[in-house]
Amino acid sequence: MALKTYSGSCHCGAVRFEADIDLSQGTNRCNCSICTKARTWFALVPPDNVRLIEGAGAHTDYQWTPPGKSESFLHFQFCSTCGVRTFGYAGEGDKAFRFVSIAALDDVDAAELAAAPIRYADGRNNRWDQAPEDNRPL
């Protein structure tokens, strides 16, 4: 599979975006406190691969400071009307990235998702490069 442009939106349609994603490169799930509560499933992409099409005024930012960090690192973007997460961002300069909510993609095919590898991160224990011992709840 190659890079493909997907359309995405929140539930009420106030926020619309496009994202260029190669699902064959994998998707991600994490067991940190916020990802667990939100049941987050996302794809990591470069900053230029996400474009907000509509709803800048409805897009709200939640900044999370992980345990052990002195300032916020992750910026979760969601619709202020319906609350659905769309995409977020983190990092600066050449370490910047976006994370796109798989659930917010409108035109992704079920077969594409089933074929996409899933990487698990043990964020709960600050081991981002390792899978948790039990990923069944993710």
pLDDT at 1: 61
Map out the domains of the chain as residue ranges: 4-117
Residues 15-65: tens digit of each pLDDT: 999 999 999 999 999 998 888 999 999 999 999 999 999 999 999 999 988
Question: Which class is domain 4-117?
Answer: mainly beta
Give the β-pairing of 85-90 and 27-30.
unpaired
Q: Strand runs (DSSP E) across the chain, as ranges? A: 4-9, 16-21, 27-30, 42-45, 50-54, 59-64, 74-79, 85-90, 97-101, 118-121
Residues 99-136: tens digit of each pLDDT: 999 999 999 999 999 999 999 998 888 888 888 888 88
Interatomic CA distance for residues 123 and 129, integer angstroms: 9
Give the β-pairing of 27-30 and 97-101.
unpaired
The per-residue pLDDT of the chain, averaged, comes to: 92
Q: What angle do CA 16, 22, 25 make, to 5 degrees?
A: 130
Interatomic CA distance for residues 74 and 65, integer angstroms: 7
Interatomic CA distance for residues 5 and 105, integer angstroms: 10
Of 89, 92, 91, 57, the residue nearest 75 (C-alpha): 89
Neighbours of 61 (CB within 10 A): 12
pLDDT at 136: 82
